[in-house]
């Protein structure tokens, strides 16, 4: 067990206090648990005010040494990775820590052989296969920066990500399984690469047995290079603040943001939080049922578990394929003890819990972790009543791509828990609620914009290629603080509960969509004069999408509504399909002509009583008109 494991409530209080009052020694002691090529000179420097935070400056390390090499002596033959294929009858792949180490070294040689060097950006667009995890670690071994793009992105989105990061290499697959379909990864890549001159080489991993075309001189088959490579590769010594990876997330303008994480701070933070949240024992089996292409997959499927020497399950396919019992079948098959996923998992237990518990042996489960969306009250209460919560705890965790790993957690065994609250801050996380003017909201049972007032090791360091945007988005709203963009409620126990996004991002089932991005697409229709998009609470998806449109010259309104829905789905993805589209005669605006999303959001949320001050509106009459139309619809 690591020396940084929090064992009980007193321990938590002590860690929490030390993380604030004696932060440098606190983090230095935690960092002693890792292997460094050179020790750090300064534990932390820089500030949130200057947006130049650094951790463990002067240190040299390679994160893969800490994920793999350092475990070889004590757990070389322990299972590191079990890969469950999409096809329930397909072949399972297993890797011990030693085998995974060999594979990562071989992949590092493979990348080096095609010219990848320290600092190069490598885009990974693959299905959920072991080779995706292996390639990420191979990049880290060399010192190249990985940028994982979700399998299934449209070719234009893939091209945008590749170009923004200036990737020189793309590692992809022939196809990726998604339920009974195959995503044609290579075809999508070929289309994207028409607009990405920076990419010189493409490695294609064969998985789907799809027919693909290979471009002479550019495209290479994975197996033709990987198989003959040596099993040892000297890890590159990385500076603490060298970039480890870029991960794209939507922003409030059309352009996605390449969130940048660096080597040392991310390693320490991810390992520390993973260990304390999940509190795994040596023989436990962990399964993160979320795609690697999200931050959750990076931190809590790859780096966090491996840094702690855990055994992890990686599942290739769709959770309900070939049927709804698949989730439980996998838990049963590998005797999973710790399951981590979106709240849909808790809902799934509710939907077929009784049936599932009869058919599958779920007695091994100790922890059911959740992230990305609030757990609906109904599902949480059901769970508490129907599942042996003493044996299998629900654990909510709140965090963001930008925070690197979890910040709030409802860990029951250590501190009190209250259903629907995301919980307490981990040691090292010092949140404050601020009002619109930047004044701290004190007391209990209060709400405000959720900000963090101290630097923590795993925080993002920049937006790739656009540090100014990083400053503007997260640090300018409340100088000296990191602004999460979320609005939060805090109760008398000091537990936090999310109220929604404070800015203009909608989170649909874990997909963050900029409202401006959606409006830009809608406004391209020749029938649309202008539009406004807002989010509203949605029982299943966390938030749904509500679109208001001012249209001109439309003969069949229904056709336009269908067209708007289809366009968003086509251009962004199924999750961007709006739940409601309402045609209105005008949009409420301020005198300076700015659309007041705040009012439209209140109407969409069904809270017309909280429309607030309308004195600054150019056209207050229109609000009443829209509201009436909603009520009568
Ligand atoms: O709004 C919060 C929501 O997801 C946002 C972050 O999204 P992303 O960067 O994609 O990372 C998601 C997974 C780490 C947050 O600003 N969110 C995250 N966790 C929770 C949540 N909302 C409610 N409950 C959570 N547990």
Confidence of residue 563 (pLDDT cuts 50, 70, 90): very high
Cα-to-centroid distance, 490 and ligand 1 (Å): 17
Distance 396 CA to ligand 1 centre (A): 11
Distance 510 CA to ligand 1 centre (A): 7
Give the residues across from 512 on adjacent strands.
Answer: 507
Contact 458, 55 (CB under 8 A): no
Ligand 1 pocket check for 311: Cβ under 6 Å: no
Closest Cα to atom 5, ligand 1: which residue? 400
Q: 128, 81 in Cβ contact below 8 A?
A: no
Q: Are 571 and 563 within 8 A, CB to CB? A: no
Of 237-241, 521-525, 543-547, minimum mean pLDDT range:
521-525
Pocket test for ligand 1, best of 400, 417, 419, 511 (most atoms within 8 A of CB): 400
* Ligand 1: residue whose CA is nearest its atom 8: 400
Q: Is 498 in the pocket of ligand 1 (CB under 6 A)?
A: yes
Q: Kindly state the helix (H) or strand (E) to which residue 397 belongs, with its residue range.
A: strand 393-398
Q: Which residues contact 30 (CB under 8 A, 6 or more apart)?
A: 4, 268, 272
Closest CA to 369 of 327, 332, 398, 330: 398
For residues 318 and 117, the model is more confident at: 117
Poorest-pLDDT segment among 62-71, 250-259, 407-416 = 250-259
Percent of the chain at pLDDT exceeding 70 = 94
Range in 99-103, 485-489, 605-609 the model is least confident about: 605-609
Q: Which residue has the higher pLDDT, 266 or 573?
A: 266
Percentage of the residues of the chain whose pLDDT score is greater than 90: 69
Pair of tokens at residue 154 = 């449209």
Can you list the alpha helix ranges (DSSP code H) found in 166-294? Answer: 185-193, 222-226, 263-278
Half-sphere exposure in the Cβ direction for 602 (13 Å, CA): 15
pLDDT above 50: residue 520: yes
Specify whether the CB–CB gap between 521 and 568 falls below 8 A.
yes
Measured in degrees and rounded to the nearest 5, phi and psi for residue 481 equal -130, 155
Q: Which two tokens stand for residue 521?
A: 């697409």
Contact at 8 Å (CB) between 26 and 454?
no
DSSP state of 440: B
**Mean local confidence (pLDDT), 548-572:** 91
DSSP 557: H
pLDDT in tens, 279-317: 999 999 999 999 999 999 999 999 999 999 999 999 999
pLDDT of 36 over the 60 cut:
yes
How wide is the angle at C-alpha 343 spanned by C-alphas 282 and 444, nearest 5°? 95
* pLDDT, position 632: 64
Give me the pLDDT at residue 417, please. Answer: 80
pLDDT category, 555, cuts 50, 70, 90?
confident
Q: Token digits for 532?
A: 């406004």
pLDDT tens by residue, 336-390: 999 999 887 777 777 666 666 567 777 898 998 999 877 877 777 777 777 666 6
Q: Is the CB of 396 under 6 A from ligand 1?
A: yes
Nearest Cα residue to atom 22 of ligand 1: 373
Helix, strand, coil shares, percent, the chain, to 5: 35, 25, 40
The mean per-residue pLDDT over the stretch 434-450 comes to 91
Give 60 Cα–ligand 1 centroid separation in angstroms.
32
Query: Is the pLDDT reported for residue 414 higher than 90?
Result: no
Ligand 1 center–CA 216 separation, angstroms: 43
Q: Which of 401, 424, 507, 538 to mutate to test the pocket of ligand 1 (most atoms within 8 A of CB)?
A: 507
Residue 410 and residue 417 in contact, taking contact as beta carbons nearer than 8 Å: yes
Compute the distance from residue 196 Cα to the ligand 1 centre, in Å.
31
CA 400 to ligand 1 centroid distance, Å: 5
- Complete DSSP assignment for 212-241: ----TTTEEEHHHHHTTS-S--PPPPEETT
Q: Is the CB of 371 under 6 A from ligand 1?
A: yes
Peptide bond connecting 279 to the previous residue in cis, omega within 30 degrees of 0: no
Contacts of 543 (CB under 8 A, 6+ apart): 500, 501, 506, 507, 508, 535, 536, 537
Q: Which of 167-176, 249-258, 262-271, 525-534 has the lowest mean pLDDT?
A: 249-258
Distance in Å, CA 79 to ligand 1 centroid: 30
Per-residue pLDDT band for 328 (boundaries 50, 70, 90) equals confident
Instruction: Please determine, for residue 128, whether its predicted confidence score (pLDDT) is greater than 70.
Output: yes
Give the Cα separation of 345 and 300 in Å (integer).
16
399 lines ligand 1 (CB under 6 A): yes
Residue whose C-alpha is closest to residue 76's, from 109, 100, 92: 100
Indicate whether residue 449 lines ligand 1 (CB < 6 A): no
What average pLDDT is seen over the chain? 91
pTM across the whole model: 0.87
What average pLDDT score do residues 188-216 get?
Answer: 96
- Whole-angstrom Cα Rg for the chain: 24
Buried/exposed 406-423: b ≥16 CB within 10 Å, e otherwise: bbbbbbeebbebeebbbb
C-alpha 500 – ligand 1 centre gap (Å):
10
Provide mean pLDDT across the span 245-254: 75
Among the residue ranges 52-56, 144-148, 151-155, the one predicted with the least confidence is 151-155
What pLDDT was estimated at residue 374? Answer: 79
Residue 270 CB less than 6 A away from ligand 1: no
- Asked whether residue 276 carries a pLDDT value surpassing 80, the answer given is yes
Protein residue closest via CA to atom 13 of ligand 1: 372
Determine the angle formed by the axes of helices 9-21 and 23-31, rounding to 10 degrees.
120
Residue 505 pairs with which residues in a beta bridge? 514
- The answer, yes or no, to whether residue 431 has pLDDT greater than 70, is yes
Nearest CA to ligand 1 atom 7: 400
Q: Is 301 in the pocket of ligand 1 (CB under 6 A)?
A: no
Yes or no: say if 115 and 200 are a contact pair by the CB < 8 Å rule: yes
| Sheet with 482-490: strands ordered across | 431-434, 446-452, 482-490, 496-501
Beta bridge partners of 221: 204
Report residue 631's pLDDT band, with 50, 70 and 90 as the boundaries. low
Task: Quickly state the pLDDT bin for 149 (edges 50, 70, 90).
Answer: very high
Q: Is the CB of 484 under 6 A from ligand 1?
A: yes
Q: CA nearest 486: which of 554, 543, 539, 548? A: 543
Q: Find the 92 Cα to ligand 1 centroid distance in Å.
A: 32
pLDDT exceeds cutoff 60 at 136: yes
The residue with greater pLDDT, 421 or 140, is: 140
The distance of Cα 495 from the centroid of its chain, to the nearest Å, equals 22
Contact 545, 506 (CB under 8 A): yes
Indicate the pLDDT class of residue 552, thresholds 50, 70 and 90: confident
Distance (angstroms) between ligand 1 centre and the Cα of 594 equals 28
Pocket test for ligand 1, best of 248, 347, 371 (most atoms within 8 A of CB): 371
Residue nearest atom 18 of ligand 1, based on CA coordinates: 372
Enclosing H/E stretch for 285: strand 285-288
Confidence bin at 252 (pLDDT 50/70/90) = very low
Cα 98 from chain centre = 28
Rounded Cα gap, residues 17 and 192, in angstroms: 50
Q: Is 486 in the pocket of ligand 1 (CB under 6 A)?
A: yes
């Amino acid at each position: 067990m690591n020396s940084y494991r929090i064992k009980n409530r007193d321990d938590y209080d002590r860690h929490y206090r030390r993380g604030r009052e004696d932060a440098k020694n606190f983090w230095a002691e935690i960092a002693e648990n890792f292997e460094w090529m050179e020790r750090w000179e300064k534990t932390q420097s820089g500030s949130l005010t200057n947006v130049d935070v650094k951790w463990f400056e002067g240190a040299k390390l390679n994160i893969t040494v800490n994920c793999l090499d350092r475990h070889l002596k004590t757990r070389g033959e322990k299972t590191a990775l079990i890969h469950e294929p999409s096809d329930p009858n397909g072949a399972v792949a297993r890797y011990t820590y030693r085998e995974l180490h060999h594979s990562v070294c071989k992949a590092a040689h493979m990348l080096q052989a095609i010219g990848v060097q320290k600092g190069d950006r490598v885009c990974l667009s693959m299905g959920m296969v072991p080779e995706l995890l292996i390639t990420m670690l191979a990049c880290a071994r060399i010192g190249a920066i990985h940028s994982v793009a979700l399998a299934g992105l449209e070719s234009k989105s893939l091209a945008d990500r590749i170009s923004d990061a200036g990737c020189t290499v793309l590692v992809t697959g022939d196809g990726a399984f998604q339920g009974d379909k195959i995503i044609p990864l290579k075809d999508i890549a070929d289309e994207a690469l028409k607009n990405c001159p920076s990419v010189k080489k493409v490695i294609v991993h064969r998985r789907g047995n799809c027919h693909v075309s290979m471009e002479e001189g550019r495209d290479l088959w994975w197996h033709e290079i990987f198989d003959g490579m040596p099993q040892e590769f000297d890890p590159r010594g990385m500076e603490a603040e060298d970039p480890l990876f870029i991960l794209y997330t939507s922003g409030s303008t059309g352009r996605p943001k390449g969130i940048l994480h660096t080597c040392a701070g991310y390693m320490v933070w991810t390992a520390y939080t993973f260990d304390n949240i999940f509190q795994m024992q040596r023989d436990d089996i962990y399964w993160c049922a979320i795609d690697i292409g999200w931050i959750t997959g990076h931190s809590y499927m790859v780096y966090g578990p491996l840094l702690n020497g855990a055994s992890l399950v990686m599942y290739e396919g769709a959770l309900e394929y070939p049927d709804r019992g698949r989730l439980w079948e996998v838990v049963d098959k590998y005797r999973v003890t710790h399951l981590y996923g979106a709240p849909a998992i808790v809902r799934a237990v509710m939907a077929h819990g009784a049936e599932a518990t009869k058919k599958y042996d779920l007695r091994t489960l100790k922890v059911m972790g959740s992230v990305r969306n609030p757990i609906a009250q109904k599902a949480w209460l059901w769970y508490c009543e129907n599942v042996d919560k003493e044996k299998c705890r629900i654990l909510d965790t709140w965090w963001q791509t930008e925070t690197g790993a979890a910040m709030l957690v409802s860990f029951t065994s250590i501190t009190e828990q209250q259903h629907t609250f995301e919980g307490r801050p981990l040691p090292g996380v010092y949140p404050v609620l601020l009002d619109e003017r930047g004044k701290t909201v004190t007391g209990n049972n209060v709400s405000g914009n959720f900000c963090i007032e101290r630097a923590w090791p795993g925080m993002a360091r920049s937006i790739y290629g656009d540090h100014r945007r990083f400053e503007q988005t997260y640090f300018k709203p409340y100088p000296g603080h990191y602004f999460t963009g979320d609005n939060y409620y805090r109760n008398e126990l000091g537990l936090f509960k999310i109220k929604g996004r404070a800015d203009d991002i909608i989170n649909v089932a874990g997909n963050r969509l900029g409202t401006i991005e959606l409006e830009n697409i809608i406004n391209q229709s020749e029938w649309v004069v202008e539009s406004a998009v807002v989010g509203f609470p949605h029982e299943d998806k966390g938030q749904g999408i509500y679109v208001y449109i001012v249209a001109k010259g439309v003969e069949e309104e229904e056709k336009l509504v269908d067209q708007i829905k289809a366009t968003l789905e086509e251009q962004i993805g199924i999750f961007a399909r709006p739940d409601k589209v309402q045609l209105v005669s005008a949009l409420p605006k301020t005198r300076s002509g700015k659309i007041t999303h705040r009012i439209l959001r209140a109407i969409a949320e069904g809270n017309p009583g909280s429309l607030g001050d309308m004195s600054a509106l150019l056209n207050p009459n229109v609000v009443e008109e829209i509201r009436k139309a909603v009520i009568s619809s």
